Amino acid sequence: MVRRSFVFALADKLSVVAMSILTMAVVSRILTPAEVGLFLVASTIVILIEAFRDFGIGTFLIREPDLPPRLVRTAVTIIGCMSLALGGLAVIGAETIARFYADPHLAGLIRIAAMAFLVAPVSTPLLALLRRDMAFGKVAVISVAAGFVNASATIGLALAGFGPFSLAWGSVLAACVTAVGAMICRPQWWIFRPTLRDWRLVVPFGAWSSIVTLLGMLYDAFPRLILGRVLGFGAVGLFARAISLSQLPDRLILSAVQPVLLPALAGHSRENGALKAPLLMGLSYISGLQWPALAMIAVLADPIVRLLLGPQWLEVVPLVRIVALAFFCLFPIYLCYPVLVTLGRVRDMAVAMMIALPPCFAIMLGASSFGLHAMALSLFLTGPIQVITVMVFVRRKVPFTMAELGLVIARSGGVTLATVSIPAVVVLAVGSWNALDGVSTVLAIFGAAIGWGTGLVVLRHPLSQELDAARRFLRAKFPLLRGIRQP
């Protein structure tokens, strides 16, 4: 069931990310870095407000062991009230925010993006209930449809000359499609009958969950908000694109893991109670997938930027290399939140982030005055601070030895070295990683794939079992492959 759910979630994310990459590639050739940065500041502000709007309702509906109808209705009522109140606050405060950044266009972008608050009370609970039931096939259909509408509307409006407003309207239309799709896939209208009778069960969890979500989003958004004020919207666009390209492995693979993790861990906890084995296994899988991909992004940063963004974004190349390498240390973060939520310790996650983020904000604030490269380099400090702090809280509830974690790191590190070995030879032959042409880039990618697969097998990485499972599946589905011997 978990593997099947992951396949659906992976197909979902691959489709959506493919459309997102296409949108980024087209729009980046139409809009300037300053226009992209203007939209990103507006969307960042709306997303921070949205952290309160969600109020952890989706997570609550997934993890709650007993979910009677009245409790569901209470959760939906609360998220509806929060959406209306905070959406109104965003609209009212748009002018003040625009004056702070000295750009009147910012107010209009914020108001458009806030329109998604009207449909969120419909989509959020219904999607959560679908994920609780592990109905990831339906979730994938909804997500792909919304992604297609977002990409089509954004590209069409950008070509029509709407500038950064094309990005805002695309996100709003995608939110509407998500709500309609959720209603079609799970037409349970009774959940929208308002009641607050069980608010004492929802509010404490929602408060702590909102704090965790807000702090996490604020950590991601802080560089954009600071750079927009200190260095201008052009700097925001460049830095944000460096982050986006470095997050491609997360968006392509790891974002498919996270929706499956919480319901899977919750089910495992109810049946077994011990989370050490799935935690270590999850860390192995994540690092074995993420690290080789990040290493290849650092190596191929120049052709990636030329292909996806175009020549006007070449300033992003050195930033991508720095950010991709800095992201290596973040692999445990993807499991910490689901594990602590499963154990009913979402408050621990909030406390850990409240401890870690103030020094991180101070480091980023100081780095911003020295320019974009300094801001990127600051991630080598802020990432470990955040990870170490959160992992201390996780180890209190799920004890594991440093030797066990070291084995995970050693195996995935070995796989990463194997992955980049052939691409490194290609770069040496070419003379510079800024001189890779089409042929050498293709050779590097194929070499990386060979090195990754070989490393998994030689080092007996847990991911090699998934390769065996995929091979068995393909042989069962395609009889012509049965004659191929296993190496």
Q: Are residues 309 and 441 in the same domain?
A: no
The answer for 460, left when phi > 0, alpha when psi is -120 to 50, beta otherwise, is left
pLDDT of residue 342: 73
Ranges of beta strands (E only) in 97-166 are: none
| Residue 252 DSSP code | I
Is 39 among the domain residues? yes
Q: How far is CA 306 from CA 309, 316, 317, 413, 468, in A?
A: 6, 10, 9, 28, 36
Report d(CA 149, CA 19) in Å as an integer.
Answer: 10
Q: What are the tens digits of pLDDT across the range 258-297?
A: 555 555 555 555 555 567 777 888 888 889 989 999 999 9
Domain that holds residue 423: 413-487
Q: Which long-range contacts (CB under 8 A, 24 or more apart) does 195-200 make?
A: 195/70, 195/73, 195/74, 195/77, 196/74, 196/77, 196/78, 197/70, 197/74, 198/70, 198/71, 198/74, 199/74, 199/78
Q: Are residues 445 and 388 in the same domain?
A: no
**227: closest CA among 442, 374, 18, 55?**
374
Residue 8 clears pLDDT 50, i.e. is over it = yes
Q: Of 400, 432, 456, which one is at a domain's C-terminal end? A: 400
Q: Which residue has the tokens 């070449």?
A: 314
Confidence of residue 7 (pLDDT cuts 50, 70, 90): low
Q: Are residues 78 and 206 in the same domain?
A: yes
Q: Which residue has the tokens 């190596």?
A: 299
Q: Are residues 120 and 152 in the same domain?
A: yes
Is 475 among the domain residues? yes
In percent, the amount of the chain with pLDDT more than 90 equals: 23
Report d(CA 465, CA 470) in Å as an integer.
Answer: 9
The count of domains in the chain is 2
Residues 6+ apart with CB under 8 A from 321: 298, 301
Is 405 among the domain residues? no
Task: Decide: residue 409, CB within 10 A, 0-12 exposed, 13-18 middle, 19+ buried.
Answer: middle
pLDDT of residue 263: 53
Report d(CA 472, CA 466) in Å as an integer.
Answer: 10
One-letter amino acid of 448: A
Q: Which residue has the tokens 């449809």?
A: 145
Q: Of 376, 400, 424, which one is at a domain's C-terminal end? A: 400
Is 407 among the domain residues? no
**236: closest CA among 433, 409, 368, 424?**
368
Report d(CA 228, CA 295) in Å as an integer.
Answer: 29
pLDDT of residue 11: 63
Structure tokens at 446: 């194929």
The distance in angstroms from the start CA to the end CA of the chain is 29
Question: Do 121 and 83 meet the contact criterion of CB atoms below 8 Å apart?
Answer: yes
Q: Across all residues in the chain, what is the average pLDDT? A: 82
3-state secondary structure 335-401: HHHHHHHHCCCHHHHHHHHHHHHHHHHHHHHHHHCCCHHHHHHCHHHHHHHHHHHHHHHHHHHCCCC
User: Pick the residue with more confidence: 297 or 46?
Assistant: 297
Q: Are residues 345 and 454 in the same domain?
A: no
Is 408 among the domain residues? no
- Average the pLDDT over 334-349 and give the result: 78
Report d(CA 166, CA 153) in Å as an integer.
Answer: 7
Q: Are residues 393 and 457 in the same domain?
A: no
| Residue 273 DSSP code | -
Is 459 among the domain residues? yes
| Residue 485 DSSP code | P
Q: What are the tens digits of pLDDT across the range 415-466?
A: 999 999 999 998 888 877 777 788 888 999 999 999 999 999 999 898 887 7
Q: Are residues 394 and 476 in the same domain?
A: no
- Average the pLDDT over 361-379 and give the result: 91
Q: Indicate the SS3 state at residue 249.
A: helix
Report d(CA 118, CA 127) in Å as an integer.
Answer: 16
Q: Of 400, 425, 443, which one is at a domain's C-terminal end? A: 400
Q: What are the tens digits of pLDDT across the range 176-218?
A: 999 999 999 888 888 888 888 888 877 777 677 777 777 777 7
Is 43 among the domain residues? yes
Report d(CA 346, CA 393) in Å as an integer.
Answer: 11
Is 285 among the domain residues? yes
Q: Are residues 433 and 334 in the same domain?
A: no
In percent, the amount of the chain with pLDDT more than 70 equals: 87
Residue 389 clears pLDDT 50, i.e. is over it = yes
pLDDT of residue 322: 95
Confidence of residue 253 (pLDDT cuts 50, 70, 90): low
Q: Are residues 336 and 452 in the same domain?
A: no
- Average the pLDDT over 371-394 and give the result: 92
